[in-house]
Every structure is written in structure tokens, then in C-alpha cells.
Structure 1
Amino acid sequence: MFQRFNGCAWKFGLFSVGLLSCQISLANHFLSQDRQWIFGDWNGQRQALESKGYKFNASIVSEAATNLNGGYNDEQAVRNAGQLTLGANFDFNKIAGWKDTTAALTVTKRKGDALTVARIKDPRTSTLGNSQEIVGRGEIWRLSQAWIKTGFADNTVQFKIGRMGASEDFNGSHCEFQSLLLCGGQLGKSMGSVWFNGPVSVWAANVKYQFLPEWTVGLGVYEINLDNVKTKSDRDGFNLDMNNVDGVLIPMELAWKPKLAMFNHLPGEYKFGAVYSTAEANDIVSNQVRDSKHSFWVNAQQQLTQHDQDAKRGLFVSVNGVVNDKATSAVSSTQQVAFWYKGPFESRPHDSVGLGFANYSVNERLTDRQRQLNESLGYEEYDAIAADYTPIQHDELNIELNYTYQWSPAISLRPNLQYIYQPSGVKEVDDALVAGLTLKLNF
């Protein structure tokens, strides 16, 4: 199936007209605005299976980007990347009478190129942001989910075990943007050597306890095994052994879901968390081996307004902050604030407008080390081409403005503009302006 879409979905460039034309031949009415899935309801069998506890999904997300101005290399280029997802969810209460028990199985494949790597950042630096969040972790098939979850005590206690990514249940956040730094949980981006987001999965278990109607506490244990992030072959994406486990990741999170009077009793969620890694980690300056690393975070997501009596329309905001261990982390902290308005027009109640800001702060200890290294080689200022020069990194700020055009539940388009201040934190690289387009298709 993936190969069938390869020429159509992965190479359509900035404008996706070619892909839409390709899909018209697959179904007579796939462009209907009330169509739930491009391939339809299988003559009623799809919803019949779901009523029995079997829910299947298939989707493609494709993200294109082009540099309009600035960056390390201002020669204009278009890069496209995408992900195919095939999955199933199982409700075992319907299937076998197991109360409050569900399971999920998901495989994914990514393919494509990153504009940020090709044009935006200095190639001698590590990547901080990316104009296409779907890029990364290799162009291989991966087992992204294989877990089962069950509830106890009227489902106030939930236990989950299997293969999963850490941000499924901890440090999670909305993804209303194409920019990596504005999409989803932040720890997998700034602590990616031990915290693995999807599409990578690891052996893990977690438990969550709702001890009051508005309050939940969660605790998890996730393996740290670099075999899970290898990208040489599809076999790496289905690694299930634990032969090379380096330690465990232990996240803990307290979540509060109030309806505050100051926000007209609209729903919100506020999360406070910390994570401890037992794997050895090198000091970023001295290379001294340390026996652990840690991070702290706060996530806040709140609906601010409601359009008339429609709770699905209105203004929403999310605020995320992470503080990392300065001894072992190149990024010392991250800050993110994002706004989106759902249903901006009466004629487009399912569309949305988004504006987000995300800043990544490079550890000052690393910045000082880079400066000292250049001085030892005789460099007193930025050299744009010398192979042995190490660009000095500071903060990187990403800003994105987008509009999500929800044609139907099966098809959405998200054109966007991104402004990247100090790409990869290098002051001497010109700020970049990027145009992007995200296409989502549910089959």
C-alpha cells in the first residue's frame, strides 16, 4: 500500500493538487464534505466492526516546506516528508466482556527530506528546530504501538503495558502546527537521547490514579535502549529484545482538569511533571560520565472563549515549559506558547487559525565550550565555511502562523508561514522565512 502512494503522496511538493487528483480515481465521492474516510464505510462493515470493538485506521500525513528568504543557504528549494500510519484499536469490553480494557496496535513508515537540514541551518551544528515535524527517526517501518490498558476501581486506576512512546501518557501536548518545536510534547526534542516520542516505541508500563474528580497522578517506567532508534533496516523498527538496555526512564506527572470561573467554566488541563533517567550520561563539557539525568516540565492547556453555545468553537491556548539537567543537556530549557481559534467563520465551523511561539535555549556551558574550542584553533569570529570551526549556539525562536482548512473529516490542508530566528541558535546565520503545507488524509 505504501509503495502505491509513494509517487503521489511523497513527491507532490508544496502544492498538493497532484495528490488530490490521484485520489479522485479511488472513489466516486471521496470529496464529499461529510465523508468520514476516503475509502468510505466499507458498505457499513466498518461501523459494524467498531460496534463489536474493532476500530481500524489508515492515514497519511505529508508536510512540504520551501525557504522564501534567509537561512544558511538561501538557494530556494522544496522538501517534502510524510508518514503512513496503519493501526487498530480494540475494545475488549465489547469483544470479550473485559470491563475498561482496551488495546492498540500501530505501524508507521516515514519518508522524505528536511528543509531545515538542506537549507536553513549551518550543517556543522546540531539541529534544534525543524520546519517539518514529521521528519526524523529514519525512513523505515516501525512498530509504534502494541499495548493493552485496563482499569480498576471504577476505572479510577488505569494500568498500561506494552510498546509505546513516552509522550503518549506524559508531557503530552496539542499538535496544531507543522513546526517541530510547536508540535506535541517537548521532552522528546530536547532530551531525545533517552526520551523517545513516536513513531519510536519502547517496552514500558505506567499507572494513573484519579484520586479526585479533577486530579490524576501518573507514574511510568520506560526502557532506555538505543537499539530502538536504529534506522538501518525495517528490522530495527521492530526490535523487541532488551539485550542492550542502558537503564530506565521514570516519569511522574500530576494533572489537574478544572473548569475555572475566570475562564467562564471552560475546560482546561494543567500538568506538572518530572523525569529521572538511570542511564549513564556524559557531561556536555568535560565528558565526565554521570550516573543519571533529569528534567522538569509544566504544561497548561485552556479553552479561553466559546462561540455562542458551541463548545467546539472558540479560542484555545497552550503553554509549555521544560527545564533540563544542565550537566548533561545541550538544551537547558524550552518555552512554548500557542493559540488557535476553532471555527473562525460561520461557513467554516471546523477550520482553525493558529499562531505559536517556541524558544529553545542552548546551555550556556555548551556555548562557552564552543567559544573556547574556536579560540584554541585561532578563530576570533564566525567562519562560514571552515570545516574545523564550531558554530557557537545560543537560542532559537520559531514562530508559525497557519490556517487549517478542514474539507471533511477525511481531508485537511494546513498552509503555514514560519519565521525562524537564529536557526540552530547561530546568530550569524540569517533568520529564515519558510512557507509550508500539511496535508492529512484519513482512509
Structure 2
Amino acid sequence: MNNSISTSSVLTASLLFSSLAMANQPWSQDRQWLFGDWNGERTQLEQQGYKFTAALMNQSADGLDGGYKDNNGFETTSQLTLGANFDLEKIADWQDTTAAVMITKREGKSLTNENIKDPRASQLGNVQEVYGRGEIWRLTQAWVKKGFNDNQLQLKVGRMGMSDDFNASQCEFQNLLLCGGQLGKSISSIWYNWPVSVWGVNLKYQFAPEWTLGVGVYEVNPDNIKTASNSDGFNLDMNNVEGATIPVELIWKPKLALFNALPGEYKIGALYSTADASDVGVAGKTHDGKHSVWFNAQQQLTQQGADAKRGLYVSFNAVINDKDTTAVSSTQQLSFWYKGPFDSRPNDSVGFGLANYVVNDRVTDRQIATNNSRGYVDYDAFAADYVPVQDDELNVELNYSYQWSPAVLLRPNLQYVYQPAGVKAVKDAWVAGLTMRINF
């Protein structure tokens, strides 16, 4: 068993056993936090404007068949999150003002990197979305948000992830591309998802009851994604800023008669980065920027009885990237989940999703040309200087989310990866996964 597995197991076990000593009935199905309400102190603090969070997410993946090594490997990865939100209107009488601080720590290994993909190929998907950006402590959030005109206009400033406010999407899955914002999966050099934070500012204007327009400016700074030490996770300087990423997004939240007036959310957005970007097809060529566009849609399709939260939901996400500078030219995601499938389990859900990476054909052509220049015509599984030729990768997941209580979630899942890392010669992979989330 590797060190990451044992560390996660010890941490989880110690926290669980500690909770038994600290509180009565820690496994109650209506328990909000595993450590309880601190004899009422937690609720009282929230009423005064102080909300504290602590959570552990662990994701395990077992290779059932296929992949580059085809040896049924097992890996686990985890993330610890510690945070606080402050209602500054209650605390300091600053009207419509909130603030947040969040620190995260990730550890473990990825089954995709260790067993599923050809190690010579660049990564596309991942069967464990909580993996990545280094096994270090990170300052993930440190921002202040101020509302004006009854919060019709909101200004947010500080350290934040870009998908906190733009290209945001639901996360009901363990697979990376089926979880959360899509841009960080294909343009990760300029767009930073959780747990990375950057200096940024954004403005959201609700100009009609159903319509909101947002614009932001975020630094492009490679120092923010360094992983050599914990100090890299708390980098606050702007010494090596290379430019700015500027997203614009229009959000529509209707209740359409077509869907029985159930809530929906539709977003269309675009970004431009001013940082220099290398051409993916021509060595040594650079461009003075890059761009992407996206469309996100989430719609509740049905409602189960009188419970507004139970029913069938659908989500569709699509990203189109600049073909001159981006290896992944586009991504598409379609997912469904049903909340409250059984009357006895109103908080559980069943999920099914498909997600696809489309590799830029200019990248594929360059890989083929490189291999031809080295004398390779067919796939070579062993040559160190062979460059795996990449095409599309498809990810599929079926899961069941067992919500024992608001404090404890278990999500067993089955995943299928078609053409891992887009390499046709690598066997398609089947993976059994398990996500565990505990709110302390």
C-alpha cells in the first residue's frame, strides 16, 4: 500500500474516532456536521456572521480492465479543505459585504497517470477529479465581495479560482471532465480551477430578474501553479505576471413553460488572454494571445411530488478553444442525475454522464510528423523517443450518491475511458471508483 493511501486512511480514521468521543450519535442521519454543533456554539457563530467549514474528500479508483499497464492497479487521492466565510454586514455593519478564506491540501496518486494512459502522452482526462496541482497546502480563496443597489451589482476582489464565478458547473461525478468548470481542463496554463487561486477582480450586474452579465480580470502567473513546496501554494506576489485572462459571461435563469416552470440556468461566455502563447503546430512560433468560448446549460426536467429538489436534472457544457494555441480544440459534456430516486432516500441521487476531449488536429499532425522523422510508422509501446499520437478521448460514468446525512456522502461509481489520452493503441479502460466526502 502506498504512502498516500495510508496517510488518507489514518487521517480519516483518526477524525472519525475523535468525533465519537466529542459528540453523541455522530451517525445520525440528520446530523449537519460530523463533529456536531459544538454545544450550540457553531449555530450561534453563524447567526453572528461567522461560518466555518472543514471537509475531507477521498477518491479511490481500481482498474478493472484495460489501460496502458492493464494490471488492475489501485490508487487513492484526497483533499482536505479548511475555510471560513464572514458576513461583514453582521460583523462590522458593512452593508451587503461578505468575505471568505479557504485553505486546501491534496495528496495521493492518480490511477490515470499511474496505469491508464501512456506515460509519454500528455494527460487529457482523469478518473479522480480531486487529483492535481501538487501535494501541497494552498491558499484557495481569500476575497471580499461588496454588493450595491440591493446586490443588483456585485464587486469581488482578491484571491480566487476563475471557475468560482465563470464557466461554473454542477459536480455530481468523480470523473474530472464531468465535474465542475470545463475550461481549466483544456487551457490550464491560463485558466485556473480549484484549488489554485490567482489575483483577480470581477463584476456581476443583474440587469433584469432573469439576466446577469459578468466580466472579470485575472492574472496569468506561472508562479501560481508551482508545486515544489508549500510556500508555492501561498504565493502572493505578482513579479512574474505574463498577462491577464479576461472572461465575459451572460447568464439567463428562466423558468420555462416547456419544462413546467422548473428552474434552469444557461450561460454563454468568451475569454481573451493577453499572455503570449506558443503555436501548437509550428515549433518556435508564438502568438500575442489566445481565446476560448463556452456554453453551459443546466435544467431541472421533472419534479418528484411536492419536493422541489427531487427530480431529473440535465447538464450540457461545451468549450471551443483557439486552434492556433491549444492542444485540446474542444470539450463536450452531457450528464443526467436524478435526485431522490426513492421515497426512503430523498437526498440520494443517481448520475450518468458522458464527456469528450477533442485533440487539435494540428497537434496530431505534428506528432505524426515527429514520429516519421524518427523512423516510426506504427505505434511503439517501448521506445522512449516515440511520441504517442493523440485523438479524441471519451469518458463515461455511472454512479449512485448515498447521502447518509448532510455530513457523510458515499458515491460508488463505474467509469469507462475510451482511447485513454486519445491514444488508439492503448486499451479502453474500465474503472471502479468510490468517492467519500465528510463534513466535520
Does the pair score TM above 0.5? yes
State whether residues 170 and 253 of structure 1, in contact with CA within 8 Å, keep that contact through their aligned partners in structure 2. yes
Equivalent residue number for residue 141 of structure 1: 137
Task: Provide the secondary structure at the position in 2 that maps to 1:70.
Answer: strand
Q: Deviations over 1:69-111 (max 9, x none)?
A: 0000011221000000000000011112211111100000000
Q: Are residues 19 and 392 of structure 1, via their aligned partners in 2, closer, same or farther at CA, if it must alter by over 3 Å?
A: farther
2:244 is aligned with 1:248? yes
Equivalent residue number for residue 38 of structure 1: 34
State whether residues 8 and 22 of structure 1, in contact with CA within 8 Å, keep that contact through their aligned partners in structure 2. no
TM-score normalised according to structure 2 size:
0.97
Give the paired residue count.
Answer: 437
Q: Are residues 375 and 259 of structure 1, via their aligned partners in 2, closer, same or farther at CA, if it must alter by over 3 Å?
A: same
Quote the Cα distance in structure 1 between the aligned partners of 2:145 and 2:128. 32
Equivalent residue number for residue 304 of structure 2: 307
Equivalent residue number for residue 331 of structure 2: 334
2:164 is aligned with 1:168? yes
State whether residues 77 and 107 of structure 2, in contact with CA within 8 Å, keep that contact through their aligned partners in structure 1. yes
Q: CA deviation at 1:154?
A: 1.7
TM-score normalised according to structure 1 size:
0.96
Aligned residue runs from structure 1 range 263-274, under 5 A: 263-274=259-270
Task: Provide the secondary structure at the position in 2 that maps to 1:369.
Answer: helix
Task: Provide the secondary structure at the position in 1 that maps to 2:363.
Answer: helix
Aligned residue runs from structure 1 range 377-396, under 5 A: 377-396=374-393
Q: CA deviation at 1:12?
A: 7.7
Aligned residue runs from structure 1 range 340-355, under 5 A: 340-355=337-352
Quote the Cα distance in structure 2 between the aligned partners of 1:19 and 1:384. 44
2:349 is aligned with 1:316? no
Q: Deviations over 1:167-214 (max 9, x none)?
A: 000000001000001110000010000001111000000000000100
Q: CA deviation at 1:417?
A: 0.3
Match of 1:78 among 71, 74, 83: 74
Unaligned runs of 5+ in 2: none
Match of 1:10 among 8, 11, 29: 8
2:255 is aligned with 1:259? yes
Aligned residue runs from structure 1 range 290-305, under 5 A: 290-305=287-302
| Greater mean deviation of Cα atoms: 71-80 or 358-367 | 71-80
Equivalent residue number for residue 212 of structure 2: 216
Equivalent residue number for residue 88 of structure 1: 84
**Runs of at least 4 residues of structure 1 off by over 6 A?**
5-9, 16-19
Q: CA deviation at 1:9?
A: 6.4
Equivalent residue number for residue 126 of structure 1: 122
Equivalent residue number for residue 419 of structure 2: 422
2:96 is aligned with 1:100? yes
Equivalent residue number for residue 376 of structure 1: 373
Equivalent residue number for residue 61 of structure 2: 65
Quote the Cα distance in structure 1 between the aligned partners of 2:259 and 2:103. 39
Q: CA deviation at 1:327?
A: 0.3
State whether residues 360 and 397 of structure 1, in contact with CA within 8 Å, keep that contact through their aligned partners in structure 2. yes
2:435 is aligned with 1:435? no
Quote the Cα distance in structure 2 between the aligned partners of 1:281 and 1:167. 21
Quote the Cα distance in structure 2 between the aligned partners of 1:367 and 1:7. 36
Q: CA deviation at 1:11?
A: 3.9
Q: CA deviation at 1:127?
A: 0.4
Q: Deviations over 1:366-422 (max 9, x none)?
A: 001101111111111111111111110000000000000000000010000000000
Quote the Cα distance in structure 2 between the aligned partners of 1:98 and 1:139. 37
2:381 is aligned with 1:367? no
Quote the Cα distance in structure 2 between the aligned partners of 1:191 and 1:180. 14
Task: Provide the secondary structure at the position in 2 that maps to 1:10.
Answer: helix
Quote the Cα distance in structure 2 between the aligned partners of 1:17 and 1:59. 14
Quote the Cα distance in structure 1 between the aligned partners of 2:104 and 2:377. 47
Aligned letter for 2:362? R
State whether residues 4 and 108 of structure 2, in contact with CA within 8 Å, keep that contact through their aligned partners in structure 1. no
Quote the Cα distance in structure 1 between the aligned partners of 2:21 and 2:387. 52
Quote the Cα distance in structure 1 between the aligned partners of 2:18 and 2:48. 33
Task: Provide the secondary structure at the position in 1 that maps to 2:95.
Answer: coil
Quote the Cα distance in structure 2 between the aligned partners of 1:41 and 1:264. 39
Equivalent residue number for residue 398 of structure 1: 395
2:290 is aligned with 1:282? no
Q: Percent identity?
A: 64
Q: CA deviation at 1:27?
A: 3.9
State whether residues 401 and 416 of structure 1, in contact with CA within 8 Å, keep that contact through their aligned partners in structure 2. yes
Q: CA deviation at 1:153?
A: 1.4
- TM-align CA RMSD: 1.7
Equivalent residue number for residue 186 of structure 2: 190
Q: Are residues 224 and 345 of structure 1, via their aligned partners in 2, closer, same or farther at CA, if it must alter by over 3 Å?
A: same
State whether residues 5 and 77 of structure 2, in contact with CA within 8 Å, keep that contact through their aligned partners in structure 1. no
